[in-house]
A = this chain, B = another copy of it.
């Protein structure tokens, strides 16, 4: 399964690679292709994303009920393989990558002291970003 090299697969991977850490919804992807004259069915996009998630090359983040999920591409040699947390501003919706030594020890502490294994890649901190705090 997933062995064939198709035109859609190449287009999708090429697009995801260009995102450079930005997160997109499935509809974002479809819209982007439509604007460039290419066309990939939304079904195909979801199916490729599912495979990439299974392969560990994409992560899916849920934000609000009823809202589309956000997908993040993880380049093979990129920084996104790190086990870091994300911040999401509940006002403007911005998703921020949190590279932080304080939080990097967090999962370890909680595991040792509380017997719970946090998965940073599944966890999003909600709050207010700098510009929305005023």
Partner-B contacts on A (CB < 8 A): 60, 62-65, 68-69, 87, 89-90, 96, 98, 100, 102-103, 106-107, 109-110, 113-119, 122-130, 133
Docked-complex contact B116 and A109, CB < 8 angstroms: no
**What are the residues of chain B within 8 A of A63 when measuring CB–CB?**
62
Q: Which of B89, B98, B114 is the one whose CB lies under 8 Å from A98?
A: B114
Docked-complex contact A115 and B100, CB < 8 angstroms: no
Docked-complex contact A118 and B87, CB < 8 angstroms: yes
Q: Which of B60, B64, B100, B118 is the one whose CB lies under 8 Å from A110?
A: B100
Given A60-B65, A90-B122: A106 and B115 interface contact (C-beta under 8 Å):
no
